Structure 1
Amino acid sequence: MTEPPVRGRTTTPLVEASGVAKRYGPTVALRDGRLTVLPGESHALVGRNGAGKSTLVSLLTGLQAPDAGTILFDGEPAPPLGDRDAWRRKVACVYQRPTVVPELTVAENLFINRQPTGRGGFISWRRMRTEAAELLDTWDVRVDPGARTADLLVEDRQMVEIARALSFGARFIVLDEPTAQLDNREIERLFTRMRSLQDSGVTFLFISHHLQEVYEVCQTVTVLRDARWITSAPVTELPRAALVEAMAGEVIADQAEAEAAVARTEVPADAPVVLEVRGLTGASYTDVDLTVRAGEVVGLAGSSGSGKINLAESFAGLHAPTAGTARLDGRTLPFGDVAAALRAGVGCVPRDRHGQGLVFGMSIGDNATMSVLDRLGRYGFIGTDTRRRFADGLIDRLDIHAEGPEQPVSDLSGGNAQKVVMARALASDPRLLVLINPTAGVDVKSKESLLARVDTAREDGTAVLVVSDELDDLRRCDRVLVLFHGLIVAEHQAGWTDHDLIASIEGVGQPEPADSPSGGAGHRATSRTAPAAEPQGDHRG
């Protein structure tokens, strides 16, 4: 397959990769990588987990050398691998996990390892703050140079990283899943900033599993599949169905068919109540009442300031509410103690698989079984064969593509790594399964596999809470509760429309309480959103 010429191209590509390949021992990570990025565009790079995207990025950013093929910047060969300064002047990558040092100020992060000095060779803090302010102003990054980076919003930390890269002279920025931790309004602001930077001559390589974002912010898209280039085309000439087909290598049912295929057996009205919550109040939510019955899947939706994640994490033992009660199978649910919550029957897929979900220095088997070690042995002694058999069962159950339980979890693609987190949550046969952004950063096929586990848990009589910003995740739910400023303001039964749910999430028609626990951090109504849906039924269950 040959790459089609782009009509009207007269400009030398800013970045061009041709026939690049990379092997790691017997594993072919990339066999035919191709990419042509023109100056000033946003170019999407898409593909399922394991398609070769990360490998191609590592070659484009000088972290690895290709085994074959060529990489050109402005028509000239890429710098030698050891010349890091030359690479910094060419390209930078803003990863899904921030690379800024959280305890340092913005100015210190911008000039780390190259602080301006004054008399006697000592760091000139005044000059550093001044130059940081000038740099931020140049690229319209509106943050305080003296602010502690850990206190910034995620989107502002990303912009600090972009500004730092631009300060070296790079005009080619790779954004790796930049919207994974952002809500809708934050994504809009990021895209506005990207367009502004494009107007200033900055070029982006945009990597995302959210295809709608590709059509919203990018001009061209390149698809990788099975470690090779499949196609490159203007986004206006590649319909969504064709793009998904190129990524998956097979024809995918349209959205309407996919939604119709979601099998849902109505939860009996007399099904036993597994989780019963009354008057629960915490740092970002107030007076929450809800029930979840056996075999019922309840969604929690809302903006980043709604309190939905803090509420869900409280059930998993990560936070201690200040008032109210929660009972699991009739027994008081312990708060502020993860181990106690696990013993009580709570399984959890946390929001950040990197920081909260996995121990990357351990194997798949160790990660998947760490929550049930007491079941696999007595007095602290666990038979190797016993743990291996149990881990093998989890690998089969979750369809984890791996060499076996002993393989390091760090070797896995994002989708398979998330399946390991799900495997550990299910290993204890929980009565309540709490899933927080369970499909974030995974490809189409992995998402289907993970959501199928929700259906399995439902069939097993488990009560499930799904907290997600993804509408596809919430479609599996029997009902979705919407939080706004820490209050449950709406309930949507299965079959809701995107229009109505998004309107509720955006808070159209909802008051703006000055004393809300989220401190006014939620979305404010805009003329762009539709009227909010009326609450359907009593959220108390």
Structure 2
Amino acid sequence: MSAPVVQADGVGKRYGPTVALHDVSLTVRPGESHALVGRNGAGKSTLVSILTGLSETDTGSVSFGGVPAPSLSKQDDWKAHVACVYQHAMVVPQLTVAENLFLNRQARGGFAIGWKKLRRQARELLDSWDVRVDVDTPAGDLSVEDRQFVEIARALSYGARFIVLDEPTAQLDSQAIERLFERMRQMQENGVTFLFISHHLHEVYEVCQAVTVLRDARHVLTAPVSEVSRAALVDAMTGEQGGLAVRDAATRDPLAVDAEEVLAVDDLSGDGFHGVSLRVHRGEVVGLAGSNASGKHQVAETVYGLRKPTSGTVAVNGKRLPSGDIPAALRAGIGCVPRDRHHEGLVLEHSIMDNATLSVLDRMGRGGLASPKVRRERGSRALTDYDIVAASPDQPVSDLSGGNQQKVVLARALESDPRVVVLINPTAGVDVKSKEALLAVVDRVRAEGKAVLLVSDELDDLRLADRVLVLRAGEVAAVHQAGWSDGDLVADIEGVGLHD
């Protein structure tokens, strides 16, 4: 048997008193897709940073093809062994695809850049891996899917044949995900090996041959995917039996017929959608489903004021809102969990208490000046109310796992006691138990009488909805009442069986 592409033996890592990894081992065989799964905070990111030469292990060892890993100072040697394609773009958006592919290598030993040769080499590289992207396109204009393939091609150009994919499907729709998986299979046949990190366990069974589970910074399980049931995999990740518990709206009492109408959207049109109308009542959850190109995200962002519509109206409690005005939306009683927590939901270098109270500073003291004591009290309450795992409310949000960061975003959105809560992909990139906790909060605020507009790519999230509106090509194509089947909803999302 050939040597493993990568082997980590007894790896340990500490950051001060925090144990990030304890005696973790991982073996990835040539040509396979090996899943690495675990809850947020399990140690996946730390292990990846060690496997890619960004961090040094305190104990244990790492080898590539049976040869000890290079020292951290030899980054070019690391690039010849391994690369990581992250969920968030690692390209320079202003530069072309060709320039990004050969970034810092354009001159090839000289001072002048041969642009004609650079473009030719870029085309040859992309063609060799069947990546169909124009080399003269600015990288910032690429779709998420094409950007990922460009990053993979760039890594392969260094000689690496081991690629870490960190949450690669988080921003892709179902068709793009299937194209990614098909390309992964083709690359595997040509000798490329993948370490695949995802919170979507069904993807592990679709594209991976082996799986390793980390829990609480320790190695728990490594096995062929075919030998591990989904229930057993969830149990290994959580240390508990039962898997994800999500309350289905079909199991609760139906909404009262005289429930107050809180949110009214009439004939709303804007970037990527047109003619959308919907109603959300007190104590009701309305879901929006569809592909990433369906317009569902843009509808929710327009309701919240992040986008300005071209026509139509949004009203809260019968009062029409000015378009494209977030402060007006906040004053009207709309709270929002945005699509991208890192860029739109959090100030990462600030503390939990600062982030949790951002939307209510004007209510915490005269002139918007809130005393540290009041802010700390509110931050402490957020830790308790939303089960945020942190040392204290003073801890920077950047130190938290993805699941706990998302809980802080939800705490901020609800701190103002809004009438309407707009949730856009509220459980994206979080582990099983964090997802369960977040959805439990959504169900709680619904029970308290808030109107909830829930946009998600996750079927588990949409179980909470009393109704799910399916958007396709910017229009409402179908409406499903609570109790829908996965097959029926997915068929409408994908447009399967249509005759038009």
* TM-score normalised by structure 2 residue count: 0.98
Distance 2:135 2:249 in 1: 51
CA contact (8 A) 1:271 1:294 kept: yes
Q: How does 1:316-395 map to 2 (within 5 A)?
A: 316-395=304-383
- Pick the aligned partner of 2:27 from 28, 31, 36: 36
Q: Supply the distance in 1 between the matched residues of 2:417 and 2:353 (Cα, whole angstroms).
A: 17
Deviation (angstroms), 1:356: 1.2
Matched, 1:496 2:484: yes
C-alpha distance in structure 1 between counterparts of 2:248 and 2:337, whole Å: 26
Aligned residues: 500
| Cα gap change, 1:64 to 1:488, in 2 (>3 Å) | same
Which residue in the other structure is 2:299 paired with? 311
222-231 vs 263-272, which moves further: 263-272
Q: Counterparts of 1:500 and 1:491 in 2: how far apart (Å)?
A: 11
Distance 1:511 1:124, change over 3 A: farther
Distance 1:439 1:262 in 2: 21
Gaps of 5+ in 1: 1-9, 513-541
1:117–1:124 Cα contact (<8 Å) kept: no
Once residues 31 and 459 of structure 1 are traced to their aligned partners in structure 2, the CA distance between those partners, rounded to angstroms, is 42
Correspondence for 2:142: 152
DSSP-derived class of the 2:274 partner: coil
Aligned residues of 1:434 and 1:465 also touching (Cα < 8 A): yes
Native 8 Å contact 2:270 2:311 kept in 1: yes
Q: 2:136 & 2:448 partners in 1: Cα distance?
A: 53
Identity percentage of aligned residues: 64
Amino acid across the alignment from 1:362 = H
1:197-346 mapped onto 2 (5 Å cutoff): 197-253=187-243, 264-346=252-334
Q: Match of 1:403, SS?
A: coil
Alpha-carbon distance, 1:265 to partner: 2.8
Q: Which runs of 4+ in 1 moved over 2 A?
A: 257-265, 508-512
| Aligned residue type for 1:142 | R
Write the deviation string for residues 280-316 of structure 1: whole angstroms up to 9, x where unpaired: 1112111111110000000000111111100000011
Q: C-alpha displacement at 1:341, in angstroms?
A: 1.3
How far apart are the structure 1 equivalents of 2:246 and 2:282? 25
Matches of 1:322 and 1:125 in 2, distance apart? 42
Which deviates more, 262-271 or 139-148?
262-271
Q: In the TM superposition, what whole-angstrom CA distance separates every residue of 1:210-248 from its partner, at most 9, and x where no partner exists? A: 010000000000011110101100000111111111111
- Of 172, 178, 183, the residue aligned with 1:193 is 183
1:176 aligns with 2:163: no
Distance 1:243 1:380 in 2: 48
Give 5+ residue unaligned stretches, structure 2. none
Q: Following the alignment from structure 1 to structure 2, what is the Cα–Cα distance between the partners of residues 338 and 133?
A: 44
Q: Distance in 2 between matches of 1:72 and 1:508?
A: 47
In the other structure, the counterpart of 1:451 is 439
Q: Is the 8 A contact 2:339 2:425 kept in 1?
A: yes
Q: Structure 1 residues 436 and 511 mapped into 2: Cα distance closer, same or farther (>3 Å)? A: farther
Cα distance change on mapping 1:155 and 1:370 into 2, 3 Å: same
| 8 Å Cα contact 1:116-1:127 kept in structure 2 | no
Amino acid at match of 1:16: Q
In structure 2, the residue corresponding to 1:252 is in which secondary structure? coil
What residue number does 2:413 align with? Answer: 425
The two structures have a TM-score, normalised by structure 1, of 0.90
Helix, strand or coil at the partner of 2:389: coil
3-state SS of 2:219 partner: strand
Cα distance change on mapping 1:474 and 1:326 into 2, 3 Å:
same
* Root-mean-square deviation (Å): 1.4
